[in-house]
A = this chain, B = another copy of it.
Amino acid sequence: MSSAAVAFARENHARFLDELKSLLRIPSISTLPEHAGDCRKAAETLAAEFRRIGMENVRLVETAHEGGHPMVYADWLHAAGKPTVLVYGHYDVQPVDPIDEWLSPPFEPTERDGNVYARGAVDDKGQVWMQVKALESLLATGGLPLNVRVLLEGEEEVGGEGIAEYVASKPADLKADFALVSDTEMFAPDLPTLCVGLRGMIYTELEVKGAKTDLHSGMYGGAAPNPFMALAHILAKLKDENGRILIPGFYDDVLPPSKEELAAWRSLPFDEEHYRQTEVGSKTLVGEEGYSVLERTWARPTLEVHGMPGGFTGAGAKTVIPAKALAKVSMRLVPNMTPAKAFEQYKAYVEKIAPAGVDVTVRLIHQGDACLIPVNNKYIQASVRAMHEVWGKDTVFIRSGGSIPIVGDFDRHLGLSSVMMGFGLPDDNLHAPNEKFNLKNFRLGIESLIRFLEEAAA
């Protein structure tokens, strides 16, 4: 590679990493109201950096809803006749519980074994910082090869309501030819990867109310409804023990992967037993019979329970029949399913199967569309060339079981196809204790993004 920008990135890499650590120290947990100030601080830190490296029109864009966290906008539009990329990432992070399982404090970035460990290391501050440093390297060595708009958000981990509304309003500031999204992972170490499919989702709460107040389980057990038992009966009827979702009609719209895609997935370096041992660690894997693990996690819907607040959760014993209990339940959706229809089917079914004696409220917390990106467009091909140069290998096309609703929004509202270039690894523990980002991937990711922007302008 003869790129001056790549040379600049290599010379300044130690500083880049130090700067990333500073960003990781800000506990910008978007779902916890007490961290709203930290989210704003992360946004301001990024805005200041964009100004410093020479981006223009830098500003925070407030989201419209109450308790939201600001977006960060910046642009550089001096590459006349060249395409415009909309660069996306998010600066907010997941909560850190269970905190006692972290080997080093989640907001004190720590290097171990060629990784940096911190909440947000890979999801998504480390990847955002790759974008920022790629732009800096290009700006410092002659300017950007194409027009760039950046839009970062601080609500990705809470559903991205603010950016979704903003994108839906089609602001002139977001006019572009394609999007670059850095929030995904490589299929395996040293294997350049483009994610071309995402699951959508609906995140819901089931609230079950029984008695008007908490009751003594001795006095009332046998006559008063138990909200947790009611939830257990509802949940057991939502998904069977073989992983099949039992909501009527739920699978009707599922678009199966093409034969070619399934064949490509079968040739990926994937060992279910290794995956079970190293990533999941359960005694067996679970899920629908007749589908491989990749199909189950990339191309089949799922239904998961995240927590069941209510009642007595302390140490020891309390003999209470709680007046109410909740279940946090989400469903991942696949291409051709819509969040609205899935939620309607789910809600109607839950209301139908609710046991006697309790009132059930079904709430939609947030939602996002699934998406599939055609692999033959010129920006995808530019990324393949750039990554071949940096990693010395052909790119594999995969999907992700996760949800990046903004990719669907960019398509639907702005007509932008996304290039999802991400450099996480499968064992990065995102959303879990000991989240990390591989330092080699951070370094080569910056170089890949530099070369991608150069190739996309060609």
Residues of A within 8 A of B (CB): 31-33, 94-95, 97-98, 101, 157-159, 199, 201, 203, 210-226, 228-229, 231-237, 239, 241, 243, 275, 279-288, 293, 296-297, 300, 302-322, 325, 327-328, 330, 332, 355-359, 365-366, 400-403, 426, 429-434
Contacts and interface: CB of A to CB of B under 8 A. Distances in A.
A403 B304 CA distance: 37
A311 B312 contact: no
* Copies assembled: 2
A284 to B, nearest CB: 5
A431 B284 contact: no
A305 B219 contact: no
Contacts of A287: 222-223
B222 A401 contact: yes
A458 to B, nearest CB: 34
Q: Which of A199, A221, A234, A281 has the most chain B CB atoms inside 10 A of its CB?
A: A221
B158 A317 contact: yes
A223 B293 contact: yes
B221 A305 contact: no
B400 A214 contact: no
8 pairs of A and B residues whose beta carbons are closest in the complex: A212-B281, A218-B402, A307-B311, A232-B235, A228-B305, A31-B316, A236-B236, A222-B296
Given A308-B311, A314-B31, A219 B321 contact: no
A405 to B, nearest CB: 11
A95 B31 contact: no
Contacts of A434: 213
B286 A316 contact: no
A209 to B, nearest CB: 8
